[in-house]
Chains A and B, each alone.
Chain A
Amino acid sequence: MQTIDLATAGGATLALLPEVVLTGAALVVLLVLSWRHTTAEDSRLAGYLSLGGVGLSAVALAYLWTADLQPLGLAHMIAVDTFRYAAVAIILIATAATILLSLQYVERERLLAPEYYCLILLAATGMMYLAGATDLIVSFLGLEVMSVAVYVLVGFNRGSVFSAEAALKYFLIGAFASAFLLYGIALIYGATGTTNIMEIGARLGQGNIPVLGALGLGLLLIGFGFKVAAVPFHMWAPDVYDGAPTPITGFMATGVKAAGVIALTRILFDGFSHSIDLWQPVVAALAIASMVLGNLVALSQRSLKRMLAYSSIAHAGYLLTAIWTGSSLGAGATLLYILAYVLTTLATFGILAALGRGGERDVTLDTIAGLGARRPWLAFALSACMLSLLGFPGTLGFIGKWTILMAIVNQAHAALGIILVLTSLVSAGYYLPVIMSMYMKPASATSPEGKMSGAGIAVIVVTVGLLLVFGFWPGPVLGIATNSARVLSGAVPSVNALVR
């Protein structure tokens, strides 16, 4: 164990090493593409450079994780704990996969502007700050860095009306939501005189929370509700997911959601653990609304991207359920579920990107008919993903959902668990038709799907492989997730309903 002083420049740099490395990589990419920004080769070069940056950042993360650093005193600004490391790891996985999936995609869709990769790196840096922040100002900065980059990425397909529409909608409502978030931070500062999450927790203390603080908490929940696409702040999601370039949709569904959920967990657990009675009903209501609406509306979608958009709303509901518990087991479940969701969603969007034939708005249940015969391995991978999203045993998605249910049961609260299970049941109504269509419907007379790039295949093989391996052998990830979550100080102890 080694203590570091975050007040010194060296200490802060060490603690922020993954973020610093990634920012540096973004700058390098930017520099390189000042000279080379015209051909497909230049685009590829930027992609590989970015990938290298992600790799270096991962090395830095691995160093931090194994070095077991301890901050001197309270960790201002940025957390130095395993919860942050786990979050950063998930974000890096999402980033790397997004870059790999984009390599072929941007060439096929003629989006040959290498800034694309630079923006992905910057967005990822923002996510990492957001997920690791121990100060609301840092959270907000991270959030904005991430959001601004993602706004641009959503509208990156300048030739597409839908892409532009999506970017504009996302930007408008996003700016609206950011205002709520910022105002919430201001009110909390007004109530407590600090923006540090741990100190907020200490100052709010026991007893009643001042009105100003409660109002601030409510506004924070609204802001984060928007970022994770929870009902009723979800309306942008289907349009934006549909319009954005497919790898970016995957990036949003995974990275943005993961960072938002993790930041929310830390703020609620560390900053507002004493006001749990205040936020639990709100989170529960958001969760229930998201699970019910997301799953029901997904039933009536034919386009796979829109279906996945609603499904991502439902998954935000599941994650909010885990946060609702307020227990360390719940935080662990959140991490584990995010990992499962990120891996599955990356693979799914990777497959969707491969299935598209230039403007993949037309990937519907009908176009994948007969895929099982045409592309057996791809169909198998997509089936595994659908089963994992459904939470079918044998996949990591099941382990994640099971852990969430455990966390709920431990709080001796049945209703949320029952809703989660019932809405999951409804979700079978739109996940299984995908499998059915691939294997049991005759192929429609459409041109065959394009060939996949090696990078795309690698992403799908690795993610689906991990899904299945950890689905059967969940011990390691389960251990990491629950151990990482233990550092959240404010988490309420688990009440074991089974022992009582």
Chain B
Amino acid sequence: MPQHSYGAIPWIGLTVLLPLLGFLVNGTLALVRPQAKRVVSLVGTGVLLASFIVAVLVVLQLRQETLIGPYTVTFWHWIVVDTLQIDFAFALDHLSAVMLLVVTGVGFLIHVFSVGYMREDPGYARFFAYLNLFIVFMLLLVLGSTVPLMFVGWEGVGLCSYLLIGFWYEEKANADAGKKAFIVNRIGDFGVLLAMFILWTSIHTLNFAVIAERAPTMLEAGGPVVTMVTLFLFLGCVGKSAQIPLYVWLPDAMAGPTPVSALIHAATMVTAGVYLVARTNVLFAMAPLSSTLVAGIGALTALFAATIGLRQYDIKKVLAYSTVSQLGYMFIGVGTGAYVAGVFHLVTHAFFKALLFLGSGSVIHAMHQAYHATHAHEDAQDMRNMGGLHRYMPWTFALMTIATLAIAGVPPFSGFFSKDEILAAAFARGAEHPVFYLFWGMGLVGALLTAYYMARLLTMTFLGDNRTGTAEQEHLHEAPWVMTAPLVVLGALSLAGGILNLPAFVGGHHALETWLDPVFEPAKKFSQLVMPHGSTELLLIGGAVVIAVIGLVAGIRGTLVRPIVVAKNAPAEMGFARVLFNKYYIDELYQFLIVSPIVGLSRLVLWKGVDQSVVDGFFVNGSAALMRGLGWLGSRLQTGQVGVYVILFLVGVVWILGSVLR
């Protein structure tokens, strides 16, 4: 029988190898010829395009295969210790295929945008090297067949995130933001490590496919082991995907260049937590307690972050809190057991949030150029300095409007379908566990707030009168095509992304659900979700649409009626708005409760007390002084007199002869 050929699938390694080559080339150029921007652009975007093409071919082939379990490509044996064998291997299944397309596709668009956005930056080559490296690690995360290899990617994207947040490291605030992201994520990563250890000791495997196979038989459903594993995994997700209480790093991460915010802190890396829950769906399905917690944290974050978004003026900060909030929705989905809905929202969110960030990047670019031309030193990201920009940047305005409608959940835009499915699932689960009705309600209120703050953003930025300044106005204009073109593609995807998983009531066939079915099949044994149908479904949808429209209208009206003062003259916020503007003082609270005590303990007790006086003073220097003293004593024997030498010799003779004769 001829060997079955899997077409393009065995070439999946290329999707990682190509960006890696890009990283090496751009990294080298960054060191030796940073001014070679043309080569850097070609290589940086070229490898992504090639990687995307390979990914498409791979996925097209996957459509035709009928695979049981993932298709695994093993490159080498990575860690072999006793019975533990971890291969450096990629596993392609329907879930990783979706992620593969999102990462390479959206990644490519953002790379193209960056060519325009970063054109003037002296660190151009370094930027593309980091960006390429990020894609490498993100794909490792997605394709790794084992938890450790996934974890390499997990840590690697963290590293790239750190490098890119602090890309303009000359400013201390940016470097601090990078450190904050890195340190907060450490807490979560610790959880993933612990989960790995428990998995190894309990079911003796770290391979995702084998975990899915063994967990149902070797672990007790709802038992302590599986609950612990999932809770620790979720701790990792909370860090990586910026959920309460570890979300604080993401708003600060906006210190990085805007394409980075779009790629890493909106479309791909931050969704890794959602991906991880979906990837280990069997475990979460077996641990209802953990799943409820996932959904609960998700709902809380979705609502909480949305309220902060209401009162931010930095355009990127609004989007950052919006991302935190939207990630919360995804966790409601996967926590409810509606894994497909969670992944669906992940995909649509990647489209419209990348579009929003890139659009804001386009705006910031224009603002920055205008202020640069007039040598003004105003904040190019503060929405109070914008207004009326639709006259200068019609394309950006139109595309941002599409994205706003998508995220607000207005039909037929993509976000409507995915968010609706999540909320419907939470409602359905409520029949079983009433607490899910609460999560649904929180999600609904969050949706209202989302529509409000997005409408506010759009209005403050593009509508009304321009507040940039009369001298600056003539310098405001649309970005070059290399930046606008990716926006157009993302706009089309945001508009039509819902097609991926059209529900039955509009004549769809739940295409994504069918596609992902094999991946989530094992989880169904433990948690079956009966989605609402008929009138209930339509009622829910109608309610959601009404809420979205109310939010949008309120947002636009509320922003237009009050006059907006430019940032430098703006009065301080008062009352609850001030609490929101200061993000509930959470950073200050963490500083007071956690950071200051730890720093104080480290500085006063551990450093000065334990290390300097006890370890260094007594043990290290003390023993060194003792040894030196003994050595000095010994050297006193060396008198230079042969007579003394012979006497000592004879002592030795007596001693040896004494001991052999006994």
Contacts and interface: CB of A to CB of B under 8 A. Distances in A.
Contacts of B628: 299-300, 429
Nearest to A209: B660
A371 B649 CA distance: 39
Interface string B609-653: 000000000000000100110111011011010101110110111
A475 B656 CA distance: 38
Given A173-B645, A176-B646, A278-B660, A232 B630 contact: no
Interface residues of B, number: 26
B640 A218 contact: no
Contacts of A176: 646, 649
A393 B577 CA distance: 61
A236 interface: yes
Given A169-B642, A282-B656, A235 B630 contact: no
A172 interface: yes
A225 B661 CA distance: 18
A180 interface: yes
Nearest to A294: B634
A217 interface: yes
B81 interface: no
B624 A233 contact: no
A235 B649 contact: yes
A317 interface: no
A166 to B, nearest CB: 11
Interface string A201-239: 000000000010011011101100110000111011011
Q: Max chain A CB contacts within 10 Å: which of B631, B640, B642?
A: B631
Nearest to B658: A218
A293 interface: yes
B638 A222 contact: no
Interface residues of A, number: 37
Contacts of A233: 649, 652
A215 B635 CA distance: 31
Contact of B652 (A222, A278, A297): A222
A32 interface: no
A211 B661 contact: yes
Contacts of A232: 648-649, 651-652, 655
B570 interface: no
Interface string B238-259: 0000000000000000000000
Nearest to B634: A297
Contacts of B645: 169, 173, 235-236
Contact of B627 (A211, A221, A301, A429): A429
A301 B635 contact: yes
Consensus secondary structure, chain B interface: helix
Contacts, number: 81
Contacts of B638: 235, 238-239, 297
A218 B634 contact: no
Given A232-B649, A426-B627, A285 B659 contact: yes
B218 interface: no
B294 to A, nearest CB: 45
Interface in B121-177: none
A316 B104 CA distance: 63
Contact of A300 (B624, B632, B652, B661): B632
B660 A215 contact: yes
B657 interface: yes
A282 B630 contact: no
A145 interface: no
Interface string A143-182: 0000000000000000000000000010011001100100
A219 B630 CA distance: 30
Contact of B659 (A211, A282, A297): A282
B246 to A, nearest CB: 38
A14 B65 CA distance: 74
B631 A217 contact: no
A235 B637 contact: yes
B633 to A, nearest CB: 8
Interface string A230-262: 011101101100000000000000000000000
A298 interface: yes
A281 B652 contact: no
B627 A222 contact: no
Contacts of A217: 660
Given A222-B653, A300-B635, A173 B646 contact: yes
A176 B637 CA distance: 20
Given A296-B630, A300-B628, A235 B660 contact: no
A176 B652 CA distance: 13
A211 B661 CA distance: 7
B608 to A, nearest CB: 25
B656 A221 contact: yes
B631 A214 contact: no
Given A235-B644, A239-B640, A282 B660 contact: yes
A464 B134 CA distance: 41
Given A235-B648, A296-B627, A426-B627, A180 B660 contact: no
A221 B637 CA distance: 23
B202 to A, nearest CB: 29
Contacts of B644: 235
A380 to B, nearest CB: 24
Interface in A267-304: 278-279, 281-282, 285, 293, 296-301
Contacts of A429: 624, 627-628
A381 B166 CA distance: 39
10 contacts: A172-B642, A215-B657, A221-B656, A222-B652, A222-B653, A222-B656, A232-B652, A235-B648, A282-B659, A300-B632
Interface of B: 624, 627-628, 630-632, 634-635, 637-638, 640, 642, 644-646, 648-649, 651-653, 655-657, 659-661
4 closest A-B pairs by beta carbon, nearest first, are A235-B645, A299-B631, A232-B652, A218-B660
Interface of A: 169, 172-173, 176-177, 180, 211, 214-215, 217-219, 221-222, 225-226, 231-233, 235-236, 238-239, 278-279, 281-282, 285, 293, 296-301, 426, 429
Given A214-B661, A285-B655, A285-B659, 8 more contacts: A215-B661, A218-B657, A225-B656, A232-B649, A233-B649, A278-B660, A282-B660, A301-B635
